[in-house]
Amino acid sequence: MSTEKYMQHIAFIGLGNMGAPMAHRLLRAGHPLSVYDVSAVAIDGLASAGARGAANAADAVSEADIVISMLPANEHVRDLYLGAGRVLDAAPPQALLIDCSTIAAGVAKEVSAAAAGRGFAMLDAPVSGGTGAAAAGTLTFIVGGEAAALERARVVLGAMGKNIFHAGGAGAGQVAKICNNMLLGVLMTGTAEALNLGVAHGLDPKVLSDIMSKSSGRNWALELYNPWPGVMASAPASRGYGGGFGSALMLKDLGLAQQAASSAQAATPMGSLAAQLYQLHQQGGHGQLDFSSIVNLFRPQP
């Protein structure tokens, strides 16, 4: 007897740099999958791997047990669930909704409340780990919403990640995510600045990185995502800053953190400075490069 009927049918909306590898992990786990994206090429990529390509978002969710979305910004999530995407109209009554986008906590709460008003359970579950972790199935999910809904989602999230944290109620996942990414932006800019200072005095960036990695300046950006070209073969810095997590997306997340800080009257001067540095970097035309390319804001350019 086939076991496929016991697998939850999943609709995945948003097949970008993060969404596509996440959807592939669900296929590998054996889940029947319907997919939709504004890019026909993205849909075709998943369809060739065994997913059902949908004509639109409403079509994708029409038979889903679980709906997962991974979209760029607030307006896209609002439109998918509350506007033209018609997910709340088209999804089966018992479907669980999971939004993995990184958006404002207030928008996550707004959409979750609208979903609850229609009888749906919903989680905000932004991720950490980047495209490499999405492809490897080792993402960290930072979840806001009801504990019972998270238990329903746990097996499916586990097919895409290795760490699942329950941050609190609706919107809490988004707050935790932007706190993490604000710190990441601060760490990357500080690491880039320190490496540039050492190189300016004639130090080898690999030697300096090794020293700091074993000293009190050690951090994730330095050890696992080094921004200096040639120091770490696996890092975007060693392939022209292609792929990875775009500087424009880091700027977006730093902006969300500043909005959250303003609403709570919380002081975030280092987060504010990081946002300004990434704004300068984007204005220089580098928004599509990996966020570690911020090092080029400090390095003398030819």
Name residue 4's amino acid.
E
Instruction: State whether residue 156 is helix, strand or coil.
Output: helix
Size of the chain, expressed as the number of residues it contains = 302
Phi then psi dihedrals of residue 229, to 5 deg = -55, 135
Catalytic residues: 177
| Paired tokens of 78 | 């609002």
Residue 76 CA to its chain's centroid (Å): 14
Round to the nearest angstrom and report the end-to-end CA distance of the chain: 66
Whether residue 209 contacts residue 222, with contact meaning beta carbons closer than 8 Å, is answered with yes
Q: At what angle do helices 105-117 and 74-82 cross, to 10 degrees?
A: 0
